[in-house]
Amino acid sequence: MSKRQLFTLEFPVRCSPAILYEFLSTPAGLQEWFADKVDEWEGVYSFSWNGGKPDKAELLDLEQDKYVRFRWLHTDKHEYFEFRIEKTEISNQTILIVKDFAEKGEIKDQSQLWEYQIKELFHRLGS
Cβ contact 40:46 at 8 Å: yes
Average pLDDT over residues 87-115: 94
Strand spans (E) along 14-50: 37-41, 44-48
pLDDT tens readout for residues 69-91: 999 999 999 999 999 999 988 88
Please report which confidence band the pLDDT of residue 2 belongs to, taking 50, 70 and 90 as the band edges: low
The per-residue pLDDT for 51 is: 87
Please report which confidence band the pLDDT of residue 25 belongs to, taking 50, 70 and 90 as the band edges: very high
Strand pairing category for 67-72 and 81-87: antiparallel
Q: How far is CA 93 from CA 12, 17, 24, 87, 90, in A?
A: 7, 10, 18, 5, 8
**Whether residue 1 has pLDDT greater than 50:** no
Task: For residue 114, give the H/E element and its range.
Answer: helix 107-125
- CB atoms closer than 10 angstroms to residue 102: 18
What are the domain boundaries of the chain? 5-125
Whether pTM exceeds 0.85? yes
Nearest-10 crossing angle of helices 17-25, 107-125: 120
Specify the CATH number of the domain 5-125: 3.30.530.20
